[in-house]
Chains A and B, each alone.
Chain A
């Protein structure tokens, strides 16, 4: 049993904290999320030099050959800073899908460009229903002599306007296949959605978008299996990112209640405030252990779907409660946009939807129990 990060992981986290402290303050976030791309391309290159995009990519493809747990350790830090960049979608969604399902040729073609910061990836999965369900995939792929044409509409595509490539789930008859699609291909219309958090999201309309044969990712008609593998990792990685966010909110909230004086004493000395803070701590602790266990299991190649679904439920609950209680103890100042709290309050809400909301993950756990999975 060992609940600690390795020395290497601690160094990675420390370097990330230093970089983000210097480069990603609130003024930066406020400025960047108003831009069309939603991220700073110069900074993206620097992140690649730090090895972030290639963290999980094998050395032969230009990465540093770390594992999923390393990536989660990094995302905990970026989650603290609310880093506005397509790091999550490029690594956890794009690189993971190619690592798990890509051919040798696809891996050597795309992974080095991810590691070098030359390519931004994202996943085009959700559609009108907004649910992570196979039946909700309606975008159709038709076979042509050169490959396929895709037609349909994708929603909530993170960085869908600035990405270079999309991992796109499409229906062929009764089953789903995945494709690596040029995000700027002819026939794709990008419409930005106005999202409450910093992550840019798009509606992408596909109208007879041509995709060559060699862009089929994984086995034809077995795409949903690959999607589930990616989603399991994405849910856990999102939990790690959320943990960073909630911990940071706790940290600045504690700092505030120690300094803020009312009735002649710091408000942190009032039990009503202390108990709100204690409740934040407990929610975070509960989400933390199970998140790291799930991440560890994935990095060891062990089954983790139950753990992932459990972690996401608890992380959703904890982040939402953390930001709500932080608002309560901050009072008026926390409601003002100059204060960072609202950014986390927004992030908590959008994160809670990502890769399965609480009900979705509860249903997954319940289905496992119904199928005979042990609760202990």
Chain B
């Protein structure tokens, strides 16, 4: 056993920290749910792309450096610690599309997309969920019909969060309605400017914009089909494996904010921190934070040993999202009436970060796979329990 980073990994962490400090250090926290955040975040991603940091783990022949997943992990952890979101749908191109194309894409697709993804000239919006296909993704209905050199796509997607600014749609559609539901789905890369696509904005509890997306006879060239026809569900599930790098940098910031507030705020002549019940709750959070961080490192270590995590990623998803809710709960209980104040209000604590956390926490255990689904995965894939009917 060894729980240290190598000298090179530590040096890279310093470098990454320097980068993010220069980008956001000292500035008020950027609210990821505010639309003004999108261009700022995209500019930062482009600068990461210029350094080659979005694609370090890619093979050399595709512009990467064959770096161990540990480096990507360190980068994302430092990003979250700096206060920038490390997810939120940003860089779907680098996180999901690129690795999938490297494995299954045609030469033409690789030549066209990979350099643009690497430099963050383009990004993709995930196009999976539909009104009738949420957790049961395989029952999606959006239909693609072959017509000469094209597919003609019609149907509706839901909660496709970055569709209003991403250049491409990473779209799962049904290409064989007669096949068993998992075996009739294909993946496409669709130009969002294609005629026939319309968006209806929807706003989440956090204020974040998401979209209902309508396809009306949208014509997509066959060259934009990913891999083999009808294997899309398989590609989409394996693509998620590339996404299994979690970190708890944001949680560390949340806990830090709670502690700082408790140690500097007096009520009835007494610091909030001096309440033993709060101290114990914070101590438990600190223990969990440390333990979760180690589990995150463990997955990064496994991946660097070419062991693809399966159920471990699901359990980490559940634990980190539920932990986020616990932290929010502690913070909100501690704040009392000040907890109801939102960013921009007079007297708002933490520049609105607490209220923002409360709103985002509602999403945490649902987006990216609801906790119930993740627990099913742990039980069936991890423990080998039989699937229910």
Contacts and interface: CB of A to CB of B under 8 A. Distances in A.
A289 interface: yes
Contacts, number: 162
A68 to B, nearest CB: 12
Interface stretch (B37-45, B131-139, B145-153, B252-260): B252-260
15 contacts: A1-B5, A2-B1, A265-B386, A268-B386, A269-B386, A269-B389, A277-B379, A278-B383, A282-B315, A286-B295, A289-B298, A290-B290, A296-B3, A365-B286, A376-B256
A167 interface: no
Contacts of A287: 291
Nearest to B274: A370
Interface string A123-143: 000000000000000000000
Nearest to B279: A366
B366 interface: no
A277 B386 CA distance: 13
B372 interface: yes
A310 interface: yes
B67 to A, nearest CB: 14
A362 interface: yes
Interface of A: 1-6, 69, 254, 257-258, 265-266, 268-271, 273-275, 277-279, 281-282, 285-287, 289-290, 292-293, 295-297, 307, 309-311, 313-314, 359, 361-366, 369-370, 375-376
Interface residues of B, number: 56
A78 B259 CA distance: 39
A365 B378 CA distance: 31
Interface string B260-296: 0001000000000100100110111011111111110
Contact of A269 (B279, B284, B292, B388): B388
B208 interface: no
B388 A313 contact: no
Contact of A258 (B279, B295, B376, B385): B385
Given A3-B298, A369-B282, 20 more contacts: A2-B1, A3-B302, A258-B386, A266-B386, A269-B386, A269-B387, A274-B379, A278-B383, A281-B378, A285-B295, A285-B319, A289-B291, A289-B295, A289-B298, A292-B3, A293-B294, A311-B287, A361-B283, A369-B259, A369-B283
Contacts of A3: 1, 298, 301-302
Contacts of B282: 366, 369
A270 B259 CA distance: 41
Contacts of B384: 254, 258
A4 B304 CA distance: 13
Nearest to A250: B383
A4 B294 CA distance: 13
Nearest to A287: B291
Q: Which of B3, B252, B384 has the most CB of A within 10 A?
A: B3
Nearest to B318: A282
Interface of B: 1-6, 70, 81, 252, 255-256, 259, 263, 273, 276, 279-280, 282-284, 286-295, 297-298, 300-302, 304, 311-312, 315, 318-319, 372, 374-376, 378-380, 382-389
Nearest to A359: B280
A275 B386 contact: no
B287 A313 contact: yes
Main secondary structure of the interface of A (DSSP, over half): helix
B376 A271 contact: yes
A274 to B, nearest CB: 3
A314 B379 CA distance: 22
B375 A274 contact: yes
Given A278-B379, A286-B292, A286-B295, A369 B286 contact: yes
A375 B289 contact: yes
Given A274-B375, A292-B1, A362-B279, A286 B291 contact: yes
A274 B283 contact: no
A376 B252 contact: yes
Nearest to A295: B1
A3 B3 CA distance: 7
Contacts of B388: 269-271, 274
Contacts of A268: 379, 385-386
Contacts of A5: 1
